[in-house]
Amino acid sequence: MNCRVPQSCYIGKLPTEILSNIFLLAAHGTPSDLAESLPSVTMMPHVLATVNLHWRTVALCNHNLWSSLVIDLQKVICNQSGDGLTPLTTMITRSGQSSMDIIIRAQQGPTSGTEEMIKKDFTKTMSRYADCMPLIFNLLFHEMYRWRSLEIISDTWMPIHSALQVLNERRMEGPGALRLESIRLKRTNDYLSRFWLFCPRIMKMVEGTVFGALIGAASQDISAQSPPLPKLRNIALYGVHLNWANFLHHTLGATPSLSSPVSHCIQSLELSHHSGEVRPTSDEFSAILEACPRLQNLVLRRSGPQGGFSRQVSLPLLQQLYYGYFSFGDDVGTFNGFHAPNLIKLSLEGQNLSGTTYYSPTQDDGEDDKADSILKHCASHLPFPKLQELSLYNVNAPVKTFTLFIATIPMLSHLVLHRTSNALPALLPIPKSLAGGAGMPCPALKSIQIFPESQKNKLIVTLKERSTRASRISEWRYEEMLEGTIFTLEDGEA
């Protein structure tokens, strides 16, 4: 294992700085690849350090190489007879003073029902995962000042509940997570957001100060002039709810008695798959968004307030909005509640996208009252005058409604239609006698992506009709997608 690399090998002649960067790319890829390359992140640094003495020296001197801590609780439990935390402590030591990205995985397998229905052996494992959380965090808290991101993924609520109990307990010492940029908590059982009542009910509430352990020593007062986590930019709560008023004050740093927000940090916020009874109220949600005036990306998927906003909220920097609606909640009230004049990208997700096993081939031609009301509202109120990219996932409304909506977004350049068949006819040229001389919906359109393949013929018809009125030649090509084939229209100059 310690043999020298032959001098004729080009990699053996590389400067240490370049070889070190190659190691980082081999282990981590890009930051966006981190979640998809967990095995590589975990094992690659150790593999690189065992090739030969030169590589080991370079690897050990590159502290960033060891700074992504992926903690798989299943492996920790399996190795508990020995020292299941040895790899973690090794990574912490070798990461030096570099900022750390932490991912804790408490997953055993997919779930598709209420947690009371899960088998006993599964529940026993989840309980063991929950028992591991205090031990893991007590080890990580010593390096909290170096945390850059924290992500916890679990199949069920029990490990998340245990982690929140630890994270919500104020600490008596330490500076807090002053480098923390991202918090992502995810419970992967989307099925539970279909119900109004939260499950499991016995663990619905988590006491304490939301993320109080990250704020720092208990003796430090939260400043009214700056947020408690000054570098926090991204928050994603997927199937995980909090005490929203507590979150607003202690995490975002907003003071309820003041009308003006004090937190200017958050740029990306996601609230997804929350049961009805644990969603924020209209007042709480309005206040949360008011505390994030620099918000650029907002994801609301089966979440948000039941009754829309309690007051108008302005988000002048918002560029991307992903909205997934479901069976309960005032969706039109939500769209009517905030002002986003600079929105560039809008994504709408219908009721059945997450539950693809419930999809029927005939469903493409169906209609949805929620989709119809949302699109009509957008068509009549024009809330997004600068919209350029539109993605519709399982959004089923009448062709007439799509025609009204499409006509109000002349700057649209990119369109994605996923199981949304009735939108294609809305792109057909309008007779000049009816259009007042306009004739062509979305004249700036450059690309269309569609799924499934059964929509191919409708796309071809649309392209042919548009080509008779357009001054540009349209071409389409195929792209592969995880779920099937996408057909893409691209406009090229004539």
Rg (CA), the chain: 26
Amino acid at 406: I
Instruction: Tell me the residue ranges of DSSP E strands in 241-350.
Output: 268-272, 297-301, 313-314, 320-324, 338-339, 345-349
- pLDDT, tens digit only, all 494 positions of the chain: 555 655 556 777 778 888 888 888 888 775 554 455 555 567 788 888 888 888 888 888 888 888 999 898 888 887 665 566 788 888 899 989 999 999 999 987 654 445 555 555 556 677 888 999 999 999 999 999 999 999 999 988 999 999 999 999 988 777 889 999 999 999 988 888 888 889 888 888 899 999 999 987 754 555 444 678 889 999 999 999 999 999 998 888 776 555 444 556 899 999 999 998 999 999 999 999 999 999 999 999 989 887 778 788 899 999 999 999 876 667 787 888 888 999 999 999 987 654 433 333 333 445 677 888 899 989 988 889 999 999 999 999 999 999 999 999 989 999 999 999 899 999 888 765 554 445 788 888 888 888 888 888 888 888 888 877 654 534 444 444 444 444 555 544 33
Q: Where are the domains of the chain?
A: 99-306, 342-355+363-494
Alpha carbon distance 417, 200 (integer Å): 36
For the segment(s) 342-355+363-494, the CATH number from 3.40.1350, 3.80.10, 3.30.70, 3.30.750 is: 3.80.10
Closest residue by Cα to residue 150 from 103, 115, 109, 112: 103
pTM, whole model, 2 decimals?
0.84
User: Roughly how many angstroms between the first and final C-alpha of the chain, as a whole number?
Assistant: 61
